[in-house]
Amino acid sequence: MQRWPNVDGVFAVTHTTGCALEYNGLKHRMLGRVLAGYAKHPNVGGCLIVGLGCEQTTGGYLQQHHGVVSLHAPDGTQLTRDGGIPMLTMQTEGGTRQTIEKADALLEQVLDQANQFERETVDASHLSLAVECGGSDGYSGLTANPAVGVVSDRVVACGGLSVISETTELYGAEQLLVRRSRSKEVAKKLLDRIEWWKEYVGRYGGQIDNNPSVGNKAGGLTTITEKSLGAVSKSGGTALEAVFEYGEKMDAHGLVVMDSPGFDPASVTGKVAGGANLVMFTTGRGSCYGCKPTPVIKIATNTNLYHRMREDMDLNAGAVLEGRDLQSVGDEFFEFALRVASGQQTCSEMQGFGDHEFVPWTVGPTV
């Protein structure tokens, strides 16, 4: 990688579906949005798509339905044989080994191209902050989540985007977002997603209020309403401007909701696919999550955790319980976020995490 100093790394976006699904049905569209969102992500300087050839989700599908287009080599020549998508089809290339050889050559060209990007000073309106909580405990809603809410307000004030998701963990507190919605249409869209989740969970004999996990309960959270009231504080106090479907490109500024499950890898994958270029992730029990291509800042809800898992935690919100003012802790976190956006590595980045956290959420039968 020394040959390409402006490139932070290469990662493989693999998944476990893509066929045995209805063509352009709900499941297919959700997967397509996420794959296309990663291919076109601002943190992704270049990509190469590899497919088998006979599946439902080919490069051709992504081109036709999700706007994935071609790349050119720095000297102007097209990177792909057919001038369409930078894609290799194993069945056309002649099998596994041939594909790998061709990919090796193409990747060098893609890296050359990605290496042309250099850092320059820009203002914080370019920030697209995803806020997430995982492994929550009784402190999450007291310390880390409200502190992230302060950061969310700052990012919005700078003209950036802040996105909260985990719809199943907004249930119970959704009225707080409804009241702050920019319009009735936005509010209704949020309530529609909540209703969808109630019906979806109910279809399998479950109950949406049976959410808190074993770890949540061990940490002191009893009901989903309690958990969600703590979770929603990550969204700060600004108006809710829009509600996006899972993995949908977030063409907006201000605070938005993206529909997603509470499952962290899937939740973050959706927000990254929609364009999030920074993640703030609060945890009370001790999440070890990291992401590529978007840096994740991990915030401990309590000082005990911060010290116990020191190599996985970037920030300590436990300071709020030790007399520090919430606003000043939040401001400190915002300044840290700017440094990370400027290239300072987070703990999870230093440990190289993120190769195995691509989890596109899809809804629908595998047939």
329-348 as b/e, with b when 16 or more CB fall inside 10 Å?
Answer: bbebbbebbeebbeeeebbb
Q: Which two tokens stand for residue 145?
A: 């989540």
How is residue 317 annotated by DSSP? G
Nearer to another protein (CB atom), residue 13 or residue 338? 338
Type and span of the H or E element at 53: none
> At a CB cut-off of 8 Å and minimum separation 6, what does 270 contact?
34, 165, 246, 247, 258, 259, 260, 360, 361
Can you say how many angstroms the Cα of residue 137 is from the centroid of all Cα atoms in its chain?
22
Q: Cα-flanking dihedrals φ and ψ of residue 300, to 5°?
A: -80, 140
Nearer to another protein (CB atom), residue 184 or residue 203: 184
Q: Which is nearer to another protein, 74 or 94 (CB)?
A: 74
| 3-class secondary structure, 89 | strand
Are the beta carbons of 228 and 173 closer than 8 angstroms? yes
Shortest separation between residue 141's beta carbon and another protein, angstroms: 7
Judged by beta carbon, residue 102 or residue 198, the one nearer another protein is: 198
- Beta carbons of 209 and 223 less than 8 angstroms apart: yes
CB-nearer residue toward another protein: 101 or 117: 117
**21 vs 68, beta carbon nearer another protein:** 68
Closest approach of another protein to the CB of residue 173, in Å: 8
For another protein, give the closer residue by CB, 53 or 237: 237
The single-letter code of the amino acid at 289 is: Y
Helical spans, DSSP H, in 174-298? 174-179, 184-203, 214-218, 224-232, 264-273
Residues 282, 342: Cα–Cα separation, whole Å: 21
Region of 135 (left: φ > 0; alpha: ψ -120 to 50; beta: rest) is left
d(C-alpha 277, C-alpha 235), whole Å: 17
Side-chain half-sphere of 113: how many Cα atoms within 13 Å?
A: 21
Residue 367 token pair: 């047939």
Q: How far is the CB of 49 from another protein (least distance, A)?
A: 13
Taking the complex as a whole, the smallest distance from the CB of residue 277 to another protein amounts, in Å, to 8
Nearer to another protein (CB atom), residue 226 or residue 355: 226
Is 25 or 72 the residue whose CB approaches another protein more closely?
A: 72
Smallest distance, another protein to C-beta of residue 54, A: 26
Instruction: Map tokens 């709900």 to a residue.
Output: 26
